[in-house]
Chain A
Amino acid sequence: MFERLKAMLVKEFIQALRDPRMRFILFVIPVFQTVVFGYAVNTDVRHVKTAVYDLDNSPESRDLTAQFVRSGYFDVTEYVQNDSRVRELMDRSAVKAVIRMNGGFGESLRAGRSTPLQVILDGTDSNTAGIVLNYIAQIAARYSGRLQVAQTARRVGLPPVPGGVALNSRAWFNENLESRNFYVPAVIANIVLIITMLLSSMAVVREKEIGTMEQIIVTPISRTEFILGKTFPFVLIGFVDVALITAVAYFWFDVPIRGSLTLLFGATALFLMSSLGFGLFISTISQTQQQAMMSAFFFIFPAMLLSGFAFPIENMPESVQWLTFLNPLRYYIIIIRGVFLKGIGMDILWPQLAALAILGFLILSFAVNRFRKTLS
């Protein structure tokens, strides 16, 4: 048995790695993708392009503008003078926010009256707009508070005591709230899914399509040996890719790895069961490589978008949330992020690991069963 399996494996490895272009796709592209996408996946809202529409041009209005610039969240790219220019900048998406101070702004502030600060936001990207609005409100509140303190002090001679509640906030796991740390580990999961599932789904179909399947059927090789031979190279390739990409994330992007690598690779093994199982299943329902690729794509694309990678699962409608329980990528991403950022272990991640194991086992055994039938 081992001899035949060995022969099969040798054949498969040769087939997968013979073509230099294929080697390139398998090992260079994933690394390249990680580097490019690692730079791309950044939703930090900093350096928001802002126009200032200052109709007052008083010390106060200039001071407030300076506060915005100094916060680091706003880049003032232009001082506008009329409404039509505002419209134009917003239409072209040249700025995301316009801060408008009307005439008499400074005077009104000096008199201690409540003064409007108009803000125009591009709501197209609702998320960014929400965060920007938050920043503006905080800067305005701080400025306003400081001014009030100074004015009261001048009037009464004593600074008033701030009697309210101050928040002392701390972010765990990702102290500077860098979005890259959140996304890069999950990019690994996406790439591994695409590579292993696509390849395994096409490997078997290829034999069918070019007719070599019949040759294999007449050999004494058993089905188990055949399936093992077909999937094992991809398990290995999957592991190599995970290792390569993890190295890129750690050394190139400085994403911290706080947990255990053993756990990461253990989870990868469980995850590969699902991804290869699906690949194998697809190869049983497809006759041509084209069909296999389409079907794989039909699985991969929703799996990526409904994995919690970019869109939080908690915000999805409940029915879709239930659907995501069937998505192996969902669990794998939670584990990868947990290992990278939180440094948590088996004691907390066991439900995800168990889910991956069960899902993988079910899919794989289902696919193998179906596969036997189509083969005979």
Chain B
Amino acid sequence: MKLQRIRAVAKKEFLHVFRDPRSLGLGIAMPMILLFLFGYALTLDVDRVPLVVWDQSATPASRDFISRFTGSRYFALRSHADGYREIERAIDRRDALIAVVIPVDFAGRVGSGRGAEVQVIVDGSDSNTATFALGYAEAAALSYSRDIAVKTARRSGASPSPPLLDVRPRVWFNSDMISKNYIFPGLIAVIMMVITALLTSLTVAREWETGTMEQLISTPLTGPELIIGKLIPYFAIGILDLVLSVIVGEFVFGIPLRGSLALLFGMSALFLAGALSLGMLISITTRNQRMASQIAIVTTMLPAFLLSGFIFPIDNMPLVIRAITHIITARYFVVILRGIYLKDVGLNVLWGEACFLAAFAALVIFLSIRKFRKKIV
């Protein structure tokens, strides 16, 4: 292996990238645009759940109860229904996700202390939102009941008894529970995974298809030199992307970066080495741009999105699928980025992930070199 030849290949590849505005756009502009768009748009916070109310009681008491819902930012009253048919229609049309049905005898029962039953119907198709909405409804009913109890106790002259258990939650790492803080570091990992694999997946295949590989073969260049030389420019682009991402996170979205920046970049370098080489390996084995792109997208886009723990928790997956997630490097990168960003953890916690990333990168580079044949077939 000669450094000089690696440098020559790297220079040639740099020129390729810089001359083609589209690959430069893909490498730098696209990750930034995606980060901006998604960082701005994506949230998992559940609020303003559209609500429809069927108030059969229509009394001050029932209106007071409803105001517990409409007064909170978690619900947005959309309409009043006048029967189950209207509720059904509202939920079918997605005009409402939750319906509250107040019985005719609501005021009477609550007033006399017999307790009333209020029906809540929720559109369960989005189970996540539904769980949240039910939780909010439960909390609203609880606070209403407590107020009633306090009022009755006052009226009879007794001192109201407070609830025995007083839950005092403390939320660590993301104390305001802002979903953006959770999504953004993961987003960096997912975007980088896809972009890097796409960038390199076509480089070798293109040389084969356009015939320039023959020229490369006729040079004294060896396989490892070619592969490493081709990786260098994309590695530089990847690091640049990360610097830009961190800047965007810090100054545009105000995502707290609590951990060490040096660790962040060290880990990113490991991740990039693996992800870029994966694209390279695909390119080397297929020798065909169409196939390479298909495989690159199949192996990166959906897996990085769905199997990395970005949104869907890996703990929930069955054993076999969990085993598969171990070969999705974005998985480790998501954990690493979240750890560094939100938890300020160091190598003593992240060493396992670091080892996996390093091993993966070494393996893929090794495979690429092994698979690469300097022969015309």
Contact = CB atoms under 8 A, between A and B. Distances in A.
Interface stretch (A156-164, A228-236, A368-376): A156-164
Nearest to B93: A348
A297 B194 contact: yes
**SS class of chain A's interface: helix, strand, loop or mixed?**
helix
Contact of A33 (B122, B298, B315): B298
B262 interface: no
Contact of B293 (A112, A131, A289): A289
A358 B50 CA distance: 28
A304 interface: yes
A109 B164 contact: yes
A291 to B, nearest CB: 5
Interface string A40-52: 1111111101000
B163 interface: yes
Contacts of B93: 348
A175 interface: yes
A272 interface: no
B15 interface: no
A72 interface: no
A168 interface: yes
Contacts of B174: 123-124, 126, 129
A177 B173 CA distance: 28
A138 B138 CA distance: 8
Interface in A311-361: 311-312, 314-317, 320, 334, 337, 341-342, 344, 348
Contact of B178 (A115, A126, A170, A178): A126
Nearest to A173: B125
A145 B113 CA distance: 16
B123 A202 contact: no
A210 B211 CA distance: 11
Contacts of A19: 291
Contact of A25 (B30, B171, B298): B298
A260 interface: no
B307 A302 contact: no
B43 interface: yes
Contacts of B240: none
B128 A167 contact: no
B142 A141 contact: yes
A305 interface: yes
A182 B120 contact: no
Contact of A130 (B132, B137, B312): B132
A181 interface: yes
A148 B164 contact: yes
A165 B297 contact: no
Contact of B149 (A41, A93, A164, A202): A164
Contacts of A25: 291, 294-295, 298
B260 interface: no
Given A124-B343, A194-B297, A136 B167 contact: yes
Nearest to B26: A294
A117 interface: yes
Contacts of A245: none
B125 to A, nearest CB: 5
Given A121-B172, A124-B173, A310-B311, A290 B202 contact: yes
B67 interface: no
A41 B34 CA distance: 22
A39 B318 contact: yes
B116 interface: yes
A305 B38 contact: yes
Give the residue among A140, A141, A167 with the most B Cβ atoms within 10 A.
A167
B41 A316 contact: yes
Interface string B294-322: 11011001100111000111011110110
B132 A131 contact: yes
B371 to A, nearest CB: 16
A59 interface: no
A315 B47 contact: yes
Contacts of A21: 291
A129 B165 contact: no
Contact of A42 (B30, B130, B161, B316): B316
A123 B172 contact: yes
A306 B43 CA distance: 11
Contact of A121 (B170, B305, B343): B170
Contacts of A115: 164-166
24 contacts: A36-B324, A40-B312, A40-B325, A43-B127, A43-B311, A91-B345, A93-B339, A119-B169, A121-B169, A123-B173, A126-B182, A131-B131, A134-B135, A163-B113, A177-B130, A177-B131, A182-B126, A191-B302, A209-B209, A293-B202, A293-B293, A316-B42, A320-B40, A342-B125
Please give me the 3 A-B residue pairs with the lowest Cβ-Cβ distance, nearest first.
A164-B145, A171-B124, A174-B124
Given A41-B306, A134-B135, 18 more contacts: A25-B295, A40-B321, A90-B343, A109-B164, A114-B166, A119-B170, A125-B313, A127-B44, A130-B177, A131-B131, A166-B118, A166-B141, A198-B294, A290-B206, A297-B301, A306-B37, A315-B46, A337-B125
